[in-house]
Amino acid sequence: MQTVLITGAAGGIGTRLRQLLKGIYPNIRLSDVKRPADLAPDETFVQADLANMAEVEKAVAGVEGIVHLGGFSVEGAWDTILQSNIIGCYNLFEAARRHRVERVVFASSNHVIGYYPRRRRIGVDVALRPDSRYGVSKAFGEALGALYAFKHGLRVTCIRIGNFGDAPVDRRRLSIWVAPQDLAQLVRIGLDHPDVRHEIFYGVSDNVRGWWDNAAAFRLGYRPQGRSEEHSAAALAADAKLPPDPVGEWYQGGPFCSDEFSDGIERAPL
């Protein structure tokens, strides 16, 4: 893999991955709707709005692999989600097909399965239970990835990112935390591993309180280095100061589940 495009390169995850992947791939191209404030002289940037196919094609042309982080990264109004995460995601995959890109690593989210109870351990093959419009858009992206893998031969990896950061900051995130270096490792598997055709991984570190079976990632060599339990004292102390949230505390998606909640299933048994 010589030339890799990172979309959403100005965001928090994109900024860290730029640093962690630098020197591993000879040419890394960055793209976002806005120019990163810390763009270095040796970095290549192509400005692109994902909802604009012509701009997306310009960003994609000539690359072999794509790390697709771009889009709206939290819950939002439907039209915002539609333009950025659904139309934009379609444009990205279709542009990749047109320009014969070999691989796409798609940043999915834990919010595609947010309405599973915390007491249930799940793998990647369960029915999706998105907890928000944002989660629905990521479910769409996973489905689109499968379409382009099986119909058009793209090698696609979808990573259901938990919570990305230097340390977990509350009880929920002790279960879903992913250290930056571990996410970079999963991205590299998606870009490089010869056996990848279509895969779904959970983007989590070595979390003893975890809810997800990440066997697919381990099968392809994933060996997480971050251990959330090392941060448990600080995380639990911070969690004790949070306001009560009966719905969010029951479900894996946390506050995404309780936000706008009305007449739903307050405590699904399974």
Looking at residue 270, the DSSP 8-state letter turns out to be -
Contact (CB, 8 A) for 258 and 264: no
Both tokens of 206, joined, read 């070595």
Give the span between the Cα atoms of 238 and 27, in whole angstroms: 41
- Please report where in the chains the tokens 């542009």 appear, as a residue: 95
CA angle 74-46-191, nearest 5°?
Answer: 70
Give the span between the Cα atoms of 69 and 129, in whole angstroms: 21
Give the span between the Cα atoms of 183 and 171, in whole angstroms: 20
Give the span between the Cα atoms of 6 and 8, in whole angstroms: 7
Q: Longest Cα pair distance anywhere in the chain, in angstroms?
A: 54
Out of 25, 90, 115, 134, the active site residue is 134
| 134 part of the active site | yes
| Catalytic residue positions, numbered | 134
